[in-house]
Amino acid sequence: MRKKIIAGNWKMNKTIEEAVELANSIKLDLADCKEVDVVLCPPFTALKSVSDVVSETLIAVGSQNMSSEDEGAYTGEISHTMLKELFVRYVILGHSERRQYYKENDFWVNKKVIKALEKNLRPILCVGETLEEREAGDTEKVVEVQVREGLKDVSADAYTELVVAYEPVWAIGTGKTASAEQAQEVHAFIRGIIKDMVGEEAANAVRIQYGGSMKPANAAELLSQPDIDGGLIGGAALDATSFVSIVKAAL
C-alpha cells in the first residue's frame, strides 16, 4: 500500500512573515499527521523559517528547484548542501513552469534527479503535456519521453524515495482539472513505463501525484483512483483551510 503524499507548491508567493503564518496554521491541524506525507514547498527565502515552524512535527519541507552541481560559479543557483542545511527533504524538479519559462530540459532535469537521490533528497519529478499536445493526441508520447529521460539511470531501489507528479500543463492555475478518469489513465500509463524501465516492484512502489487545479471539491475523487497517490497543490495550498481539507481527503 503506497502512502499518499500531499505537497503544497507555493511557487513565487509569500514573504517570510506570510509563509510563517501559513505554516503555523497548517501545523495546527497536521502536525501529527501520520497517515499522509505532508510537504510544504515555500520559496527559497522562506525555507529556513518554515523549517523552524515544522521542526518538531511530521510535516516535511521541500524546495522548488535545486542545482545539478555541488558548488561553484553558478550564479542564482542553490545546491543540495544549502538545502539540506535548512532541513529540506524533497525537491520539486522539472516543473512545467521551469520548463516553459526557463527552458529547462529533460537532460538537466535528469541530472538534478540523479544528484538529489545521491544526496538523499527526495525528487518530485514533474511531467505533463500542454493543451496543444493533448489536442494533437500526443499526451502519451510527451509524458513517456519526460519520464524515460527524467528518470534515466535511476536505479530500481530509488523508486521508493522519488515521487513523480503528473501535472497536465493545461490544468495548472486554470481552474480546469483533468477528470479523475483522464488523470488515472495517464498515471497508470506512467506506472507502466516505470515497470518497463525498472520492473514491477519499483513500479508498484513509486508514488505518482496529480497536480493541476486540485482543490477540496475535487480532491477526494482524484485521490480515490488506484494510481493517484497524492497531489501537488498550487493555488489551493496558499490557503491553510483548503490545503488541510485536501490532506484530509487523502486520509
Beta bridge partners of 232: 7, 211
Q: How far apart are CA 58 and CA 34, in angstroms?
A: 7
What is the 8-class DSSP label of residue 2?
P
- Residue 80 annotated as catalytic: no
Contact flag: residue 233 with ligand 13P (CB under 6 A): yes
* Active-site hit among 80, 95, 104, 133: 95
Contact flag: residue 66 with ligand 13P (CB under 6 A): no
Q: What region does 180 belong to: left with phi over 0, alpha with psi -120 to 50, or beta? A: alpha
Q: Which is closer to ligand 13P, CB of 158 or CB of 233?
A: 233
Total number of residues shown for the chain: 251
x/- track of binding to ligand 13P for residues 76-115 (CB under 6 A): -------------------x--------------------
Q: By Cβ distance, which residue is nearest to ligand 13P?
A: 234
Least separation, in Å, of the C-beta of 176 and ligand 13P?
9
User: Could you say which residues in the range 193-222 bind ligand 13P, by CB under 6 A?
Assistant: 211-214
Contact flag: residue 9 with ligand 13P (CB under 6 A): yes
Q: Which is closer to ligand 13P, CB of 91 or CB of 202?
A: 91
CA-nearest of 229, 199, 169 to 35 is 229
The count of C-alpha atoms lying within 13 angstroms of the C-alpha of 31, restricted to the half-sphere facing its C-beta, is 10
Residue type, 77: E
The count of C-alpha atoms lying within 13 angstroms of the C-alpha of 187, restricted to the half-sphere facing its C-beta, is 28
- Residue 71 annotated as catalytic: no
Residues at the interface with ligand 13P (CB under 6 A): 9, 95, 167, 172-173, 211-214, 232-236
| Catalytic annotation, residues | 95, 167
